[in-house]
Amino acid sequence: MTLSFSPTQSQFLTLQQAINKDRITQLVSDHQQGKLSPDDKSYYESLITQFIALIKLPDSAHLAMQLLPAFKITVPALLDGMAYRAVADKNPKVCVFAAYMIDQSLLQRDMTPLFNVIIEFGTPELWVELVKKVNNAPADRIVEKVYQCDKSVQTYWEQQIL
């Protein structure tokens, strides 16, 4: 019998195997003392990149949350890092996820850069998800964008939101 994993499960297992808890503990200590080597930075960046790849996949939130303690960082720092990376990558799907996580955490953050990426590079489905899930999402800007699109986008928006 062969085991078959979903892409989400495979990414989770890959990341879980890449995490070296002792090394991360030492990284935190070295970072606090200003002694972080380029090799260590590269290792940690690789883990964060793999973590972001995990959260981009469907049904990954519960798996991602299981790995958070291994990173030895606070949730606010992680969310800020996720938001920064999502904006830098111009990835609207991850921006929606980051905005949702920040909103749910009740952190007071300026989410304008996230919203800008979602509006500029997102799809109608992501605009709907943002408005439905994130408090204070810029609905007026999204409505303006929707009505600059063709009739099918407008119809989809109206069916989902109105």
Closest listed residue to residue 119, CA positions, set 78, 82, 87: 87
pTM of this prediction? 0.61
With bands split at pLDDT 50, 70 and 90, how would you rate the model's confidence at 1? low
The domain ranges of the chain are: 7-73, 74-162
Q: What is the pLDDT of residues 87-146, one digit of tens each?
A: 888 999 999 999 998 888 878 889 999 999 999 999 999 999 999 999 999 999 999 999
As a whole number, mean pLDDT of residues 34-44 equals 84
Main-chain dihedrals φ then ψ at residue 90, nearest 5 degrees: 55, 45
Rounded to whole angstroms, the Cα distance separating 68 from 51 reads 9
Question: Tell me, what's the pLDDT at 130?
Answer: 96
pLDDT of 45 over the 80 cut: yes
SS3 content of the chain, % helix, strand, coil (to 5): 75, 0, 25
51-85 per-position pLDDT tens digit: 888 888 888 877 887 887 777 666 777 788 778 88
Phi, psi of 149 (to 5 degrees): -90, 175
- How far is the CA of 153 from the CAs of 20, 48, 116, in angstroms? 46, 35, 19
Q: Which residue has the higher pLDDT, 126 or 32?
A: 126
pLDDT at 74: 65
CB 146 within 8 A of CB 124: yes
